[in-house]
Amino acid sequence: MDSIHTFTVEGIANQQIDFSGFTGKKIMIVNVASRCGFTPQYAQLQELYDTYQDQLVIVGFPANDFGGQEPGTNQEIQSFCTTNYGVTFPMAAKIQVTGTLQHPVYSWLTQKSKNRQQDSTVNWNFHKFLLDEQGQLVNSLPSSVSPFDDQILDWLNAS
């Protein structure tokens, strides 16, 4: 698979998220959790999405891989995100981002043999993957990198 655009995933509200529909936009993929020290990044992600939505799609992937910080059901997660952070960017159904049951999207994102760019390790919630308009992996950023970090803003503002 040469591009993220070959994937379709289940959305949090039982809809399909077809990455081919994001062709021509930059994509940020983030594994998210409701009970994490980084959970306030939801507000920053939403602000970034509101500001750059003509050229950026953010897709959140809820996961309970780290510290049991996303124990809720898809419905509970969606309600939490909407009520507390006004999230309107696409959210996938809850998945695993590590281990033997790692979701195929995360397998592609983390293995150079699949994405042809780099190997990455997701070590915690709110790890960010940046993809270009052709669906190619550009960068992998740890949880501690704010959605408003210069690395992200420079990437968004580059032509």
| Class level of CATH domain 4-157 | alpha beta
Q: Which of 28, 29, 33, 36 is catalytic?
A: 36
Q: What is the structure's pLDDT at 1? A: 62
User: Would you list the domain boundaries of the chain?
Assistant: 4-157
Dump pLDDT digits (tens) for 85-101. Answer: 999 999 999 999 999 99
Q: Indicate whether 80 pLDDT > 90.
A: yes
CA–CA distance, 56 with 65 (Å, rounded to integer): 26
Residue in 122, 137, 127, 53 with CA at minimum distance from that of residue 90: 53
For the whole prediction, is pTM greater than 0.85?
yes
36 assigned to active site: yes
Residue type, 154: D
